Amino acid sequence: MAETPTVTRTQVGIVGGGPAGLLLSHLLSQQGIDNVVVEKRDHETIKNTHRAGILEQQAVRMLTDTGVDGRVLTVGDEHEGIDLRFNGESHLLNFPDLVDATVTLYAQNEVFVDLAAARKRDGGDVRFEAEVIEVLDLETDTPKFRYKDISEGANPDEVFEVQCDVLVGADGSRSFCRRAVGEAQGHKDFKIEYPFAWFGILTEAPKSSPELIYANSPDGFALISQRSETVQRMYFQCAPDENVDDWSDDRIWSELQKRVDGPDGLQLKTGPIFDKTVLNFRSFVREPMRHGNMFLAGDAAHTVPPTGAKGLNLAFADVQVLFNALESFYSSGSRELLDAYAGTALKRVWKAQNFSYWMTSMLHTRADANPFEAKRALGELETITSSRYGQQYLAESYTGWPHA
């Protein structure tokens, strides 16, 4: 006979303790809305999973204006533009001049550290190493999920249940919550796979450029990014099945340098490489972003290729819209904003999908591309960089649109 679950009752149950889930929990708690967060991974695993992060000003304000630690301002690196490089020449887009905005380079795992610390400081109920095994009663006023404690020494047979008014699936691109409600129940998945990936490195080296370099070259795309004054993050386009063990440091630096070479003599600053990874990516959207009283947010509902720097920012935008809806629901009893959540969020999601797809297509070189396609992409880059209106469109999209 199965054990009777140990039950917790709360107002909002959140599956997923990454940045999206923790930020929503933080905002709700500040308004006195009770919530419980469960996360399959342990704190240290998430903390040490290196992921890039470019934050829009709105995302930075969501952290700093709500009492999360201000390290994003002291450790984060504010950037005033990007460098589009093609035909071996650099074209700087100055964001403050174009759209009166900046972005901040701050790794996603650092955002997690700050939010997790804020929840601990404020007594938040965040349960790590909790694997969800079932979601139930989503079309009722009491949706619920069940999980097991998978920490070392826990009873593997014990089941816990969280009952709530609203269930939020913020559990990432492999979302259990999303998969529990398939297309057969009236949902539709929109997706596209890309025929290339990114080979990413972390290196102990000085900055090669004050701004991020997005390079289009005959040999493929490269992104020269930063992490700090002494640690840098860089990527180059590769095959999805590329094996990192086939690449020595010398071979990596040669490949990166080849993709930024030009008549101006730009030379990358090199150093020891201490992390190598291949990042596959796709575009994906689940519609609608809810099922009954379960609402999806962040990567659980959509993913974008990293070229447009939209992933974490889209998650934060979802959180803002969903928080506004939940605050309205608990203060007035009105479900109007909750019922409008998916439609409101999806408008921004599809704008971001378009921008990310556009940037990816313009900057990358497909292995099967013919000479016409390569020349056309260069013509597009020339069009953007030679027009203030073109630059403003890219700058506005990169630095972000209003959350609602």
Provide the annotated active-site residues: 79, 214, 306, 310, 398
**Three-class secondary structure of residue 101 per DSSP:** coil
Type of residue at 104 = T
Opening angle at CA 303, ends 260 and 138, nearest 5: 170
- What secondary structure letter does DSSP report for 185? G
Estimate the crossing angle of helix 388-399 against helix 336-363, to 10 degrees.
130
Nearest to 115 by CA among 178, 27, 235: 27
CA–CA gap between residue 55 and residue 52 (Å, rounded): 10
Strands 231-238 and 222-224: what pairing? antiparallel
- Residue 46 CA to residue 113 CA, distance in Å, equals 9
Contact 351, 94 (CB under 8 A): no
- Angle ∠(344,179,240) on CA atoms, nearest 5: 95
Token pair listed for 51: 């992921």
In the chain, what is the greatest distance between 2 CA atoms, to the nearest angstrom?
Answer: 74
Q: Which two tokens stand for residue 365?
A: 């070189």
Q: Which residue has the tokens 């009873």?
A: 155
Show Cβ contacts of residue 178 under 8 Å, excluding neighbours closer than 6 positions: 169, 286, 296, 300, 301
What is the C-alpha separation between 41 and 217, in angstroms, rounded?
39
Q: Give phi and psi for 183, each to the nearest 5.
A: -65, -25
Say if CB 340 and CB 329 are below 8 A apart: no
Q: What is the number of alpha carbons within 13 Å of residue 218 lying toward its C-beta?
A: 8
The phi, psi pair for 37, rounded to 5°, reads -115, 135
